[in-house]
Structure 1
Amino acid sequence: MTTETSGGTGMSLTMKIMIAMGLGIVVGVIFNMIGSEFVNNHVVAGLFAMIGTMFVNALKMLVVPLVFFSLLGGVTGIGDVRVLGRVGTKSFFLYLGTTAMAITVAIVLASLIGPGKGFDMQGIDTTGVTGREAPTVWSVFANIVPTNPIAAFANGEMLQVIFYTVILGIAVLMLGAKSEDFVKGCEYMNELMMKVVQIVMHFAPYGVFCLIAKTFAEQGIGLFMPVMGYVITLVAALMIHLFVTLPGMLKVLAGLNPITFMRKMRPAQLFAFSTASSNATIPVTYRSVTERVGVNDSVASFCIPFGATINMDGTAIMQGVATVFLANVYGIDLGLAGYMTVIGMAVLASIGTAGVPGVGLVMLTMVLSQVGLPIEGIAIILGVDRLMDMIRTAVNITGDAVVTSIVAKGEGKIDLEVFNDPNAGVVHDDDVEMPHGAVA
């Protein structure tokens, strides 16, 4: 396995993040076992929470400007509205397809394993869980068009940001030569934002350590015991989709080596695991796909933020497993029609829900309401959801990258030399150092 140290003077960023993650798990479990009030209040809920929040906020800070300028550059770089429409159509249906496949795998596996049968509800507090009404197909698509673009940018409404930026990019193309200076300015701002991404990534090991340590210190491992069947089934379904379904699609539809691809996506997967947010991971996913995998900016700038918003394979898998688990707990037979409803609702909900931590539970309330299961049952799996959210977010962004690579290969917008180069785009400490004489 590649250590990703060639081409730089120090340890690779990926290796540092993996070490930080391992240390975070160990420290978190130890703190949880100690149970010191001082440690919990001042170290875990204080120092770790502060540094972790600052790190996630720094990533989120990059999302909207990076998406805006990279997508503008991508639209103008494509230069043909028909090609843009083709890229958008391909990515949209591929994203829907992967989500449907993900939840189908989850339901089939959960039906075979049967988690939740004979579950003891004693001691489970199911109060305080509120549901959310499922959106209609019409409202989901109507809300893509922003009434106020500035508000969409401020609130991070990614579908609305993408829609506005694409329309703006098309208008730039229509103005022709008059837009040259504007396009050059956008290209510069895109390069500037990528440099800011490098600076933020330099501090990633510290942020990852604090996020992981905080999670395990608060959750511990004792919460897994009552719902071990659910956890095992969910993790198994996620791993099947991550290491079988998605690599199979990549190989069949794009002819790319799945092992090489997975190695190059490790940094983004680690970031997704630690932040549990597809949107917060956009800068890292974008950088990995363009600089490590070799996808052209014109495709990646559209597909990555689009996928982070509508493609939630891991979350769909959680909904499938959780629905079967809770149906078994309450002794309710959903039948084929019920499971088909779950698949349809999961696909629809993934389009209309933001890629932020904990969004899976919000989507799950919609699904449970549609099939007649008590939404209070969510309280049973609530304790382990944060840790499961971390795993499924890594699956989400991997699905984004796979679809982006498939679309890019079909459009001839992927550099195979970069893809096959194990050292392409590797980040080291010296990548973010100030050049000599900069201070002077």
Structure 2
Amino acid sequence: MNALLINNISKILRSGWTVLIAVSIGIYIGLYKHEYVEYVAPIGHIYLDILKMCILPILVTAISVSIARLMQSEGDNTYITRMLTVFAISVVVSGSLGAALGLISQPGSGYDDATLASLGSIIRESGAPDLEISAYEPFIAQEKQSFVKTFIANLIPANIFSALTSGSSLKVLFFAILFGSAIGSLNKDSSHALLSSLESVYLAFAKMVKWLMIFLPFGLLGLIAHDVSQVGINVLMAMMKFVPIALLGFLLLFILSSLIMWQRTGSLIRPFLALKDTIVMALGTGNALACLPSTLSAMHEKLGYDKKTVDLLVPLTFTICRTGPTLYFALATLFVAQLYKVDLGLSGLITVIMGSIFAGLATAGASGVILLSMLSLVLAPLNLPVEAVLVLFIVIDPIIGPFRVLTIVHTACAIITLIMPKQVPPLKYGPPIPVE
């Protein structure tokens, strides 16, 4: 009887209606009941911390085991070339789309003096340089910063335990790839016990995440109430041109990835339903790696893709194909250039796209201020100011961030369907049927 009661409560808490109610309450508290934010926000932060606690062990074990078994398999590794090609095309398309949106919509031009004064007041309150003044003054050229050097510094860990402690997922990924390759180079008898242990660790943390999903409504309520309470109406009015254009860019990538999954799976609705929990998690937590367990489950259990390949591709795609940040950095750079009336030219646009790709790649595992600070990797080589505008992007990030994460997650799933064999949907039940 107790088991039945617990099972019913679990089903209610995991219901889409329960999640919707929790999100609605969180928005209401964030907008109209600020006095309750201090009580519900810690619940959201604790939930996210526990979830993040499980992510890096899953990342290390999934990548290491998958690469080792891929190297030890006797079949051909046909996915490698296709994977690298699709990865490269996806980030180039994202950066180009962001730059194109910036050129067409001109989000940083046409501001009147009152709006510039409003933007300047936001920056003055933060202690940053005064945009109201600096927007009309010429730049003093600064020494160019190498985004390649910065990226390499963020790639190779001097101490893997320090990288695990700080949550530097790009460094952890680099270690996991090397570690998995080393295990894969051993003979199967020597590596069997280690691979079995790593897989057990992966399954244990995945089980913890599954338990945690039961309490998702409470975590979302606290996180959304906090984020909504941080966004002021004055900021939205001052950035009213940039915010909807950024959201439009994410929407275009979402639509494109939906069409890709439709073409690759033979169904438009089935991928959406399979990724329903992942989409809610992305919008609720604003953390791409927090969506890793639900995405692994959806791609294997609900869409029927091979578990070994999914365990390799999903973490790699989340970490390397940073489509959301890449688009956002390109658009944000065009916004800053237009705000300061700087003509970038063709070479400048190429620098924007390439710099956005590297900056996006350097954001793996980062969020909030740390993620936005990577914008300097694009602005600095163009001699555009960083400190004077960074705060503008920080104050609107509670709105932008969840949709940027959703773009990373959703396009990653579409990318994986491009890499994996094309499928047709089943007649009624069971996994899809490969046709390639």
**TM-score calculated relative to the size of structure 2:** 0.81
Hey, what does 1:233 align to over in structure 2?
A: 245
Hey, what does 1:185 align to over in structure 2?
A: 197
Partners of 2:396 and 2:105 in 1: how far apart? 19
8 A Cα contact 1:234 1:318, kept in partner: yes
Instruction: Report SS of the residue matched to 1:274.
Output: helix
Hey, what does 1:399 align to over in structure 2?
A: 411
Hey, what does 1:52 align to over in structure 2?
A: 44
Residue 221 of structure 1, CA deviation: 4.2
Which of the residues 296, 299, 305 maps onto 1:286? 296
Amino acid corresponding to residue 70 of structure 2 in structure 1: I
Partners of 2:73 and 2:362 in 1: how far apart? 25
Partners of 1:269 and 1:84 in 2: how far apart? 34
Amino acid corresponding to residue 273 of structure 1 in structure 2: L
Deviation per residue, 1:5-40 (Å, 9 max, x gap): xxx9646444432332222112211125xxxxxx1x
8 A Cα contact 1:24 1:212, kept in partner: yes
8 A Cα contact 1:278 1:356, kept in partner: no
Amino acid corresponding to residue 30 of structure 1 in structure 2: Y
Instruction: Report SS of the residue matched to 1:116.
Output: coil
Residue 210 of structure 1, CA deviation: 0.6
Q: Which moved more, 1:128-137 or 1:319-328?
A: 128-137
Q: Which moved more, 1:64-73 or 1:197-206?
A: 64-73
Gaps of 5+ in 1: 1-7, 33-38, 423-440
Hey, what does 2:349 align to over in structure 1?
A: 339
Deviation per residue, 1:209-251 (Å, 9 max, x gap): 11001111222444311211111111111111111x2234445
1:307 aligned to 2:317? yes
Q: CA RMSD in A?
A: 3.1
Closer, same or farther in 2 for the Cα pair 1:262/1:281, shift >3 Å?
Answer: same
Partners of 2:257 and 2:428 in 1: how far apart? 17
Instruction: Report SS of the residue matched to 1:203.
Output: helix
Residue 198 of structure 1, CA deviation: 0.6
Hey, what does 1:355 align to over in structure 2?
A: 365
Partners of 2:311 and 2:144 in 1: how far apart? 32
Partners of 1:158 and 1:112 in 2: how far apart? 35
Instruction: Report SS of the residue matched to 1:213.
Output: helix
Instruction: Report SS of the residue matched to 1:409.
Output: coil
Amino acid corresponding to residue 378 of structure 2 in structure 1: V
Closer, same or farther in 2 for the Cα pair 1:337/1:230, shift >3 Å?
Answer: same
Which of the residues 48, 71, 76 maps onto 2:63? 71
Partners of 1:57 and 1:420 in 2: how far apart? 37
Hey, what does 1:98 align to over in structure 2?
A: 90
Gaps of 5+ in 2: 1-9, 130-141, 432-436
8 A Cα contact 2:242 2:335, kept in partner: yes
Residue 360 of structure 1, CA deviation: 4.0
1:379 aligned to 2:391? yes
Deviation per residue, 1:117-155 (Å, 9 max, x gap): 221311324354599985543663576443433333333
Closer, same or farther in 2 for the Cα pair 1:261/1:337, shift >3 Å?
Answer: same
Hey, what does 2:132 align to over in structure 1?
A: none
Which of the residues 17, 20, 41 maps onto 2:19? 17
Any residues of structure 2 matched to 1:390-429 within 5 Å, and which?
390-409=402-421, 417=426
Closer, same or farther in 2 for the Cα pair 1:318/1:139, shift >3 Å?
Answer: closer
Hey, what does 1:430 align to over in structure 2?
A: none
Closer, same or farther in 2 for the Cα pair 1:288/1:135, shift >3 Å?
Answer: farther
Any residues of structure 2 matched to 1:122-271 within 5 Å, and which?
122-123=117-118, 124-125=120-121, 126=123, 128=127, 134-137=145-148, 140-141=151-152, 144-173=155-184, 174-243=186-255, 245-251=256-262, 254-271=264-281
Closer, same or farther in 2 for the Cα pair 1:64/1:378, shift >3 Å?
Answer: closer
Deviation per residue, 1:59-94 (Å, 9 max, x gap): 110112112222333234435478796545533442
Partners of 1:286 and 1:255 in 2: how far apart? 17
8 A Cα contact 1:28 1:212, kept in partner: yes
Instruction: Report SS of the residue matched to 1:48.
Output: helix
Deviation per residue, 1:173-208 (Å, 9 max, x gap): 422123333333333332222211111111111001
8 A Cα contact 1:28 1:214, kept in partner: yes
Partners of 1:206 and 1:66 in 2: how far apart? 23
1:365 aligned to 2:376? yes
Identity rate, percent: 22
Partners of 1:25 and 1:419 in 2: how far apart? 39
Residue 341 of structure 1, CA deviation: 0.9
Q: Which moved more, 1:198-207 or 1:215-224?
A: 215-224
**TM-score calculated relative to the size of structure 1:** 0.80
Amino acid corresponding to residue 22 of structure 2 in structure 1: A
Task: Report how many aligned residue pairs link the two structures.
Answer: 400
Deviation per residue, 1:244-276 (Å, 9 max, x gap): x22344455x35434322232221122122222
Amino acid corresponding to residue 303 of structure 1 in structure 2: L
Partners of 1:223 and 1:402 in 2: how far apart? 34
Amino acid corresponding to residue 374 of structure 1 in structure 2: P
Hey, what does 1:27 align to over in structure 2?
A: 29
Which of the residues 327, 351, 357 maps onto 2:337? 327
